[in-house]
Chains A and B, each alone.
Chain A
Amino acid sequence: MSFLEYNVKFTPTGWRKVFYLNWALILLLTAVASMGFLMLYSVSGGELSRWAEPQMKRFALGFVAMLVVALVPIWFWRNMSALAFGLSLLLLLYVEFFGSIGMGAQRWIDLGFMRLQPSELTKITLVMILAAYYDWLDLSKKSRPLYVLIPLLIIAVPTYLTLRQPDLGTALLLLMGGGAVMFVAGVHWAYFAGVIGAGVGAVSAVFTSRGTTWQLLEDYQYRRIDTFLDPSNDPLGAGYHITQSQIALGSGGWTGRGFMEGTQSRLNFLPEKHTDFIFTTLAEEFGFVGAASLLALYILILVFCIATALQQRDRYASLLVMGIAVTFFLYFAINMAMVMGLAPVVGVPLPLVSYGGSAMLVLLTAFGLVQSAHIHRPR
């Protein structure tokens, strides 16, 4: 059964679809990515070839992927959802057994021209399969325990695999992204209240388990939580990242210290300055104006996504777009909160800005899905 009720002939076909793309959204994405190129150029100390250039190539590749995905009708992607999810699960299992170790975690597959992180891919395919699931499910059954259990299992499998890598950030993102799709699909409030209650219970369990034989998290994960709660008690050790990134942010002031003038990043006081902590460099060099602009661009992208979702009559399309929007939101909100000291340090990149091929490609492909929904919306 399908929620597709509009006539196909109303939608554009062939190359004419290009005119029906959401060009404003493309402009926004390009603007965000360009800020990324600028910052990568800056943190490398003015070396184009180090980070900025590879990032541009990936953006170009992702951009093409986005257009290709956009031009393919959304219902094709719905049919592909289960396959895509299955594939990403296989890749996750593959890194579990054969993946390369990078930065203390087993996360990626070396494809030669880039390093693929299956966990990034899973963020989108999970949203796809859940959207497809709720598209398939009768509306009346959506809050029945059995039919709530199925998506929970779908979420649990990749979450467990990424947690094992270990990659707390991605696991959280999967959990919250999947939950968001269930929420938008209309699963009963009570379930979410229950989950939040269970979450509080789990947090207290995590803390009480510390130091015991059934300790739930790795030691380094506990330390990150400790330093998040009080970064000042270890300013040169585990709290170093948070302290230094706040100094960088704060010292930017209103208008920043100027392009390539950020001392914190240039003098290596910032950790992971080209990946997870790139926002601090932006904030240091362009100040509040620059940082708030990026936030505004992100929010605008979300607005476009929500608008696209609301225009849909197809349940799959709207759930998918909302799921992508939530995932995108979680990316930048967690990253920003982390560098500003509002959240513990978990490895979540700043979407479209942080150096990294997998996230860039996957995000642009996801926005290709949004564009596809946009082009093939009912009119």
Chain B
Amino acid sequence: MKRSQRETEDSARQIGRRSLVLGGLFAGTGAVLAGRMRYLQVERADDFRLLAEENRINIRLLPPARGLIFDRGGVLVAGNEQNYRVTLVREDAGDVDEVLAELARIVNLDLVTLDRARQEIARRPPFVPVTVADRLSWAEISAVAVNAPALPGVTPDVGLSRIYPMGGDFAHVVGYVGPVSDYYLEQTGDTDPVLQIPDFQVGRNNIEARLEPTLRGSAGTTRVEVNAGGRIMRELDRDPADPGSDVQLTVDAGLQNYVEARLSGESAGSVVIDCQSGEILALASAPTFNPNLFVRGISTGAWNGLNADPYRPLANKATQGLYPPGSTYKMVVALAALEAGVIRPDETFNCPGHLEVGNRRFHCWRRGGHGRMDMVQAIGQSCDVFFYELAQRVGIEAISAMARRLGCGVRHELPLSGIAEGLAPTMDWKMQNRGASWVVGDTINASIGQGFVLSSPLHLAVMTARLASGRAIQPAIIRSIDGISQLPEPAPELGFDPAFLTHIHQGMWNVNNDRRGTAYGSRVEVAEYKIAGKTGTSQVRNISTAERASGVVSNNDLPWDRRDHALYVGYAPFDNPRYACAVIVEHGGGGSAVAAPIARDILLRAQVGDIPPPELYPSSQRHDIERMHRELPILPSPPVPAGRTVRSQA
């Protein structure tokens, strides 16, 4: 049945009207949409184009390869190694736990590492790559790459990490690097953008820290296109990083290794210095520690262990440790007296075993006394009374002035973390610091390197070198930077009367080569390697009246930290001095028994350039020396294959 014509017309008219209303609505909406399009795409196009570029392009810093450190012969002391690591981006990983579990099946990850990674991943924004494991082997990193489809969000990566191939030998010279801490940023105020690079390492100690600007280099940049997940799609351009400068030390790695090995087991410090140029050939402190432990961030346990050790492995005893120099100070007094003209070179004194000054009696180390002797003999036999007498004549001001002239009690500028100034006391100093007047007893104590006098092995090595060469050498430890020499000009003469110096040298010769010399046991049999030196035994306690009455208590009966320090300074070869050496063994006992043998070995090692052959030693000692050398923990050379080091990052 059909509708009526009228109804149909009504319907069509109404639909027509309403359709046109809707049509108007369509048109209006279309106009609004077009207007919005125009607004976004034409009027604000530039703003949005900029935002899109910001989205797309990421500027990333390229870490510079840290400058390498070599010894004087080109042996690598601090290098960079490829550090294969695996990073994970939470956003791309999906189920992090599952991916980590899968990763742990492929590479060997312990629970601690996994736990740390999980915490780090949770802490960081989802698109930031987090290092899950580092120091992986090539095999492990290949396994990760092969299994990439099963490991979403995991990327094998390579970075550079510091390595010290000589282990602990250079810990007290080169120091170590470590991660950038908030504390570091606060302390240094360093705003170099390179510090923001994850896992970037900065020098924390010694040369690594003091030459930080030289070694660091400057960051490069790369502009990369990234996707919304932060993944790098391609590199747009690159401005490579400038690697840090290479540094060559004056130190001889072989000698350094020998010295550290020879000192091992003791709490000791030693410095070997070139008498003519002032170049430091070895600077050792024992016990030492492995700086590689610090590169990754040392564990609390290991750190506490190092700190709790009574031998203080972290302290640099060679430059930081201050000790009463004991009898090694006697050359200072002797030369001061000769220069002042208060004694004729051939003048003699009688040593009855003690000297009365005022109402105090000062003993000679030899209770029976040395009898009558001149300066050469007094040095050779280390007669205390002779120097008590001398010191009273010349006075403390001249002694301390001479000490400073010879390099004691002054600060030597070396790029190391701890350099002690030492102390060559004066009357003013005592008044200012102790609030008391100088008394003659102080002078007498100072004359045998006791009392207020304090020196480090570095001071004593410089003193010995200056005495041996007569030149005002300055210690230096950086030989060159990027091949440009950093050595000081040849040192000027100190201006001593050669006759006086010869006198001192003769006395030091006697120490090692005169039958009555205190270090006669540590003599050298072959003429061209002969050494001269001076022993010292410095007290760290006051000898009580009771002890004096009962006779001196044997060192070995005392607790370790109250025993005497054993010291020795010497140079070689005697005819043409080249090497000066100072050895201090903390609480080691007597200088002649403990320090002198070590120093002889070191000076022979320096002269021979290798393990000294037994023929150089007195025949009665050869057997023991050979055995000692066999047992010495000496590194094979070269210490590390050159291929493991990386010059700069590609």
Binding site for B on A (CB under 8 A): 1-5, 139, 180, 183-186, 244, 246-254, 263-264, 267-269, 283-284, 287-288, 291-292, 295, 298-299, 302, 306, 309-310, 312-313, 315, 318-319, 322, 325-326, 329, 333, 336-337, 340-342
Q: Report 5 cross-chain contacts, Cβ distance below 8 Å, ordered by A residue.
A: A139-B7, A246-B40, A267-B225, A267-B226, A341-B36
Q: State whether the Cβ of B49 lies closer than 8 Å to any Cβ in chain A.
A: yes
Contacts of A340 in B (CB 8 A): 33, 36-37, 40
Q: Are the C-beta atoms of B41 and A252 separated by less than 8 Å?
A: yes
Confirm or deny: B12 has a beta carbon within 8 angstroms of a beta carbon on chain A: yes
Is the C-beta of B488 less than 8 angstroms from some C-beta in chain A?
no
Task: Name the A residues within 8 Å of B497 (CB-CB).
Answer: none
Q: Mark the stretch among B16-24, B134-142, B514-522 that contacts chain A.
A: B16-24
B111 at the interface (CB under 8 A from A): no
Residues of chain B with a CB closer than 8 A to A186's CB:
11, 14-15, 18
Bound Cα distance A322, B11 (Å): 14
Beyond A184-B18, A306-B19, 4 extra complex contacts between A and B, CB < 8 Å? A139-B11, A180-B22, A186-B18, A248-B52
- The 8 A-B residue pairs whose C-beta atoms are closest, nearest first, are A250-B48, A251-B52, A253-B45, A267-B227, A288-B41, A268-B228, A186-B14, A251-B49
Alpha-carbon distance between A251 and B21 when the two chains are bound, in angstroms: 35
Query: B23, A306: Cβ atoms under 8 Å?
Result: yes
* Set of chain B residues within 8 Å of A183, measured between Cβ atoms: 18, 21-22
Among the listed B7, B26, B44, B45, which residue makes an inter-chain contact with A329, where contact means beta carbons less than 8 Å apart? Answer: B26
**Residues on B with beta carbons closer than 8 Å to the beta carbon of A310:** 15-16, 19
Q: In angstroms, how far is the closest chain A Cβ from the Cβ of B7? A: 6
Q: Does B562 contact A (CB under 8 A)?
A: no
Task: Out of A264, A287, A299, name the residue touching B41 (CB < 8 Å).
Answer: A287
Chain A residue with Cβ nearest B37: A291
A-contact 0/1 string along B29-51, CB 8 Å cutoff: 11011101110111011011101
Contact between B55 and A264, CB atoms less than 8 A apart: yes
Residues of B within 8 A of A247 (CB): 48, 51-52, 55
**Chain B residues, CB < 8 A from A4:** 2
Chief secondary structure at chain B's binding surface: helix
Question: Closest Cβ of chain B: how far from A320's Cβ, in Å?
Answer: 11
Assuming A295-B33, A312-B12, A333-B33, is B225 touching A263 (CB within 8 A)?
yes
B12 to chain A: closest CB distance in Å?
A: 6
CB distance from A44 to the nearest CB of B (A): 15
A250's partner among B15, B27, B49, B56 (CB-CB below 8 A) is B49
* B499 within 8 A of partner (CB): no
Check if B10 is an interface residue, CB within 8 A of chain A. yes
With both chains docked as a complex, state the minimum distance between the C-beta of A70 and any C-beta of chain B, in angstroms. Answer: 21
Query: Given A267-B228, A315-B11, A333-B29, do A254 and B45 touch, yes or no (CB 8 Å)?
Result: yes
A221 to B212 alpha-carbon distance, docked (Å): 56
> How far, in whole Å, are A185 and B374 apart by their CA atoms in the complex?
135
Shortest CB-to-CB span from A192 to chain B, Å, is: 11
Query: Which residues of the partner chain A approach B5 to less than 8 Å between Cβ atoms?
Result: 5
B46 to chain A minimum Cβ distance, whole angstroms, is 8
Whether A313 pairs with B8 at a CB distance below 8 angstroms is yes
When chains A and B are docked, how far (Å) is the Cα of A97 from the Cα of B48?
45
A292 touches B34 (CB 8 A): yes
CB-CB < 8 A to A295: which residues of B?
30, 33-34, 37
* B3 and A3 contacting across the interface, CB-CB below 8 Å: yes
Q: Interface size class for chain B?
A: 35 or more
**Which residues of the other chain, A, contact B32 by a CB distance below 8 angstroms?**
342
Give the distance to chain B from A116, nearest Cβ to Cβ, in Å.
29
B233 at the interface (CB under 8 A from A): yes
Q: B55 — which chain A residues lie within 8 A by C-beta? A: 244, 247, 263-264, 267, 269
* Contact call B56/A5, Cβ cutoff below 8 A: no
The complex places the Cα of A310 from the Cα of B49 at a distance, in Å, of: 45
* The one of B1, B7, B22, B226 that contacts A184, using a Cβ cutoff of 8 Å: B22
A322 CB contacts on chain B under 8 angstroms? 15, 18-19, 22
Q: B382-437: which have CB < 8 Å to A?
A: none
Taken together as a complex, chains A and B put the C-alpha atoms of A188 and B608 apart, in Å, by 116
Residue of A nearest to B36 (CB): A340
Per the bound structure, the CA–CA distance linking A254 and B49 in Å amounts to 12
Out of B22, B33, B56, which one reaches A326, CB within 8 Å?
B22
Contacting pair A254 B233 (CB below 8 A): no
Cross-chain contact A309 with B8 (CB below 8 angstroms): no
Q: Is B229 an interface residue (CB 8 A)?
A: yes
A5 to B3, CA, bound (A): 7
Q: Does B40 lie within 8 Å of A249, measured CB to CB?
A: yes
B335 to chain A, nearest CB (A): 76
A251 contacts which chain B residues (CB < 8 A)? 45, 48-49, 51-52
Asked whether, in the complex, the Cβ of B41 is within 8 Å of the Cβ of A291, the reply is yes
Are A184 and B15 in contact (CB-based, < 8 A)?
Answer: yes
A295 to B: closest C-beta gap in Å: 6
Q: Are B41 and A250 in contact (CB under 8 A)?
A: yes
Interface-centre pick from B3, B14, B34 (highest chain A CB count, 10 A): B3
Report the minimum CB–CB distance from A50 to chain B (whole Å).
17
A253 touches B18 (CB 8 A): no
B26 touches A250 (CB 8 A): no
A264 vs B36: C-alpha distance when bound (angstroms): 19
Answer whether A254 and B42 are a contact pair too, CB < 8 Å, given A5-B5, A340-B33: yes
Q: Which of B18, B56, B233 has the most CB of A within 10 A?
A: B18
Known: A184-B22, A329-B29. A249 touches B15 (CB 8 A): no
- Nearest residue (CB) in A for B23 is A306
Which residue of chain A lies nearest to B25 when distances are taken between CB atoms in the complex? A329
A326 to B18, CA, bound (A): 12
Chain A hits for B41, CB < 8 A: 249-250, 252-254, 283, 287-288, 291
Contacting residues, chain A, for B36 (C-beta < 8 A): 337, 340-342
Which of B11, B26, B51, B53 contacts A3 (CB under 8 A)? B11
Contacts of B30 in A (CB 8 A): 295, 298-299, 333
List of B residues within 8 angstroms of A268 by Cβ: 227-229
Q: What string of 1s and 0s marks CB contacts (under 8 Å) between B208-237 and chain A?
A: 000000000000000001111100010000
**Chain B residues within an 8 Å CB radius of A319:** 15
